[in-house]
């Protein structure tokens, strides 16, 4: 008897995985709703709310005025009174419009009420450069929100991560900011049809290696994998770690890797100066200093606003070649 042919794994693009994650939450939680600018009729600026209004109706999916301050305030108030809102901050750059609500209400209200008020708010927002949207619509500002006690912060890299982390965020009784990436929207990957949640605070070892550790945030994970292939030809067997959750951060997985490899690099798309990479590097040297054979390397964007010019923007964004160049410098090869 011939062996049964194994069914081909189901694949979805990143954008569709976001939609499926939101839809799953709305199906599972009757007190969940979606609110934001153009999320209802238009399905969101990148279309990842398409079909949500038709399925769940205008009482649970609705457009808001163009006021990020009002959107976050709505989420805080609704969550404190028993709902589980999914609010949309169209671009992460707009955090400046609502930072008081984010920093002084969303992040602090549960603490200030002694735990009596829960704030199960899931905020979806879009970060990253690469689409020539210029300096006010292309930033990666994860360091801002990671610095605020009371918030959880996740950064899905793959379609699988996008669905699983959105569901996990919505099930959490704390506010969770889900930082999505524009240039990842068309990337396809395996996504189970059933509901699943990825544990918050657990990193993913995407590629195992023996003598070099690369911690890569968000879309930079894909660049790190390309770099690891190039480094292999130089005799460097790189382990690539995707944190997936930035707050809380899985220090143990990173430190255990460095204890094995003895060298480390942190890569993010955000500006290098003051970026979350500095915090990760500090944690590595605090917990694995005696295992390090070289200082922790960092790769990030230059200290400049994101350029509009496509040529300049591509030069601005870190990539595999820059990762390899920094590794060669660190290794002296």
pLDDT tens digit string along 243-297?
999 999 999 999 999 999 999 999 999 999 999 999 999 999 999 999 999 999 9
Q: How confident is the model at residue 7 (pLDDT cuts 50, 70, 90)?
A: low
Looking at the structure, do residues 171 and 276 belong to the same domain, yes or no?
no
CATH number of the domain at 224, please: 3.40.50.920
Catalytic-labelled residue, pool 20, 37, 68, 313? 68
Last residue of a domain, one of 130, 162, 190: 190
pLDDT of residue 6: 53
How many residues does the structure list for the chain? 333
Co-location of 118 and 262 in the same domain? no
Distance CA 33, CA 102 (A): 19
pTM of the model: 0.96
Residue 74 in this model has a pLDDT that exceeds 70: yes
Mean pLDDT of the chain: 96
Q: Are 170 and 32 in contact, with CB atoms under 8 Å apart?
A: yes
Helix %, strand %, coil % of the chain (to 5): 40, 20, 40
Identify whether 196 is part of a domain.
no
**pLDDT tens track for 244-255:** 999 999 999 999
Residue 68 annotated as catalytic: yes
Report how many domains make up the chain. 2
pLDDT at 3 over 60: no
Per the domain annotation, does 199 fall within a domain?
Answer: no
Share of the chain above pLDDT 70, in %: 98
Give CA–CA dist 153/134, Å, rounded: 24
The whole-angstrom separation of Cα 266 and Cα 215 is 5
Whether the per-residue pLDDT at 33 is higher than 60: the answer is: yes
Residue 154 burial (10 A CB sphere; 0-12, 13-18, 19+) = buried
Sorting pLDDT into bands at 50, 70 and 90, what band is 9? confident
What range defines the domain where residue 126 resides? 11-190
- Name 51's Cβ contacts closer than 8 Å, sequence gap at least 6: 19, 23, 43
Residue 197 lies in a domain: no
Q: Among residues 137, 239, 268, 313, which one is catalytic?
A: 137
Does residue 140 sit in the same domain as residue 281? no
Report yes or no on 3 lying in a domain. Answer: no
Contacts of 157 (CB under 8 A, 6+ apart): 181, 184, 218, 219, 221, 222, 242, 244
CATH assignment at residue 62: 3.40.50.970
247 in the same domain as 155? no
For 98-149, write each residue's pLDDT tens digit: 999 999 999 999 999 999 999 999 999 999 999 999 999 999 999 999 999 9
Residue 313 falls in the annotated catalytic set = no
CA-to-CA dists, residue 27 to 20, 263, 264, angstroms: 10, 45, 42
Q: What is the mean pLDDT of residues 189-217?
A: 98
Strands 32-36 and 61-63 turn out to be parallel
């Amino acid at each position: 008897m011939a062996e049964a042919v194994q069914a081909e794994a189901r694949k979805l693009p990143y954008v569709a995985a976001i939609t499926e994650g939101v839809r799953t939450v709305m199906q599972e939680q009757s007190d969940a709703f979606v609110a934001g600018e153009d999320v209802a009729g238009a399905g969101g600026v990148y279309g990842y709310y398409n079909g949500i209004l038709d399925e769940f109706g205008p009482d649970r999916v609705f457009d808001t005025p163009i006021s990020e301050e009002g959107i976050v305030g709505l989420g805080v108030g609704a969550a404190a009174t028993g709902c589980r809102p999914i609010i949309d901050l169209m671009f992460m750059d707009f955090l400046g419009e609502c930072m008081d609500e984010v920093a002084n209400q969303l992040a602090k209200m549960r603490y200030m009420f002694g735990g009596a008020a829960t704030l199960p708010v899931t905020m979806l927002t879009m970060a990253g450069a690469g689409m020539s949207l210029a300096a006010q619509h292309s930033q990666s500002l994860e360091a801002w929100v990671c610095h605020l006690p009371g918030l959880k912060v996740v950064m899905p890299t793959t379609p699988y991560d996008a669905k699983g982390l959105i569901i996990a965020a919505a099930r959490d009784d704390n506010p969770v900011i889900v930082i999505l990436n524009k240039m990842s929207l068309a990337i396809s990957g395996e996504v189970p049809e059933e509901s699943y949640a990825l544990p918050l605070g657990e990193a993913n070892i995407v590629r195992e290696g023996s003598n070099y550790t690369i911690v890569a945030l968000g879309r930079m994970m894909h660049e790190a994998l390309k770099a690891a292939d190039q480094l292999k030809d130089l005799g460097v067997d790189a382990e690539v770690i995707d944190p997936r959750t930035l707050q809380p951060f899985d220090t143990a997985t990173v430190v255990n890797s460095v204890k094995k490899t003895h060298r480390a690099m942190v890569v993010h798309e955000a500006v290098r100066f003051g970026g979350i990479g500095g915090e990760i590097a500090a944690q590595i040297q605090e917990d694995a200093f005696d295992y390090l054979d070289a200082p922790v390397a960092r790769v990030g964007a230059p200290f400049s606003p994101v350029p509009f010019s496509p040529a300049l923007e591509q030069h601005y964004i870190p990539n595999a070649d820059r990762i390899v160049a920094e590794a060669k410098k660190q290794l002296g090869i």
